[in-house]
Amino acid sequence: MSDWTHAKNNPEASREVIAKVRARYRERLVLPDTKPAKQFLLCPVGLVGAGKSTVIRPLAQKLGIPRVSTDAIREMLKSKGFNYNPARDLAYSIVEELVQAGHSVAVDSNCGSDDALQRLKSLQEKYPFKLIWLRVNPPESFILSKLKNYRHTWLFKDTSEALKSYFKYKERYGDFENLDVPYLYTFDTSRPNMKDQIEEACSRIENELSRSQRQNATLYPLSLVILLWKKMIEQWSRLRRERMSRQK
């Protein structure tokens, strides 16, 4: 998240501080004993105050995967008197560490920004996981009421700063309606049936992962046949060259 809060005036954290914050956050994560058969990342998309954590926290718990929160890292940096600048780098370095170890991860951050999209693309070029896109899109009146009435503690100094950040963020990124990603589910966090929405989203995620796994299982034998066919052609070509060489 671009920083339009008073914390932007805080000093930069040193490498030593950043390393300590990363280590402390990493220690807090509780990793599951088992890993899903199909590796995936949960990628929420939504504006400031939309309720991304409201959605991602219970989803991560129900799906049994670790959750990496940029806001939690920002809070740790601010508590030490520093700005939020290293938060995204820290979060995505931890995400990559977990992905490399075979874990699926819930990314508790807006994944629809240009920066996040690029980071996710780079990760997907290295590791064969699936991206699960979730849109968190309550009515704007709900978000504004929430920002006005919420008891601001650390992220925003007061209501005025919270509203300013919201409108600046919306002006920069829009509402993500036309983002070129396949949303699997859209949440409306203003509705009282969040439990039902979570259950439905979980069901869709599990079905999508099962479908993707079946598709991979179908493609695997085909790729194996192609590989064997290539090896046969290579062997035939080698034998032909050797035979022609002997004839000369």
pLDDT digits (tens), the chain, 248 positions? 556 677 888 999 999 999 999 999 999 999 998 888 899 999 999 999 999 999 999 999 999 999 999 999 999 999 999 999 999 999 999 999 999 999 999 999 999 999 999 999 999 999 999 999 999 999 999 999 999 988 877 788 889 999 999 999 999 999 999 999 999 999 999 999 999 999 999 999 999 999 987 876 554 455 555 556 676 777 777 777 777 776 65
The pLDDT assigned to 47 comes to: 96
The pLDDT assigned to 247 comes to: 65
State both tokens at 98: 């977990």
The pLDDT assigned to 46 comes to: 97
The pLDDT assigned to 219 comes to: 47
Q: What's the pTM value of the predicted model, to 2 decimals? A: 0.83
The pLDDT assigned to 179 comes to: 94
CA dist 34 and 227 (Å) reads 32
CA-angle at 75, arms to 73 and 78, nearest 5°: 110
* Biggest CA-to-CA distance, the chain: 90
CB 187 within 8 Å of CB 204? no
DSSP readout, 182-225?
-EEEEE-TTSS-HHHHHHHHHHHHHHHHHHHHHHHHHHHHHHHH
The pLDDT assigned to 206 comes to: 94
CB 208 within 8 Å of CB 184? yes
CA dist 167 and 171 (Å) reads 6
**How many angstroms from the chain centroid is the CA of residue 166?**
21
CA dist 20 and 31 (Å) reads 20
The pLDDT assigned to 90 comes to: 97
Phi, psi at 194, each rounded to 5°: -60, -35
The pLDDT assigned to 220 comes to: 47
Phi, psi at 26, each rounded to 5°: -60, -40
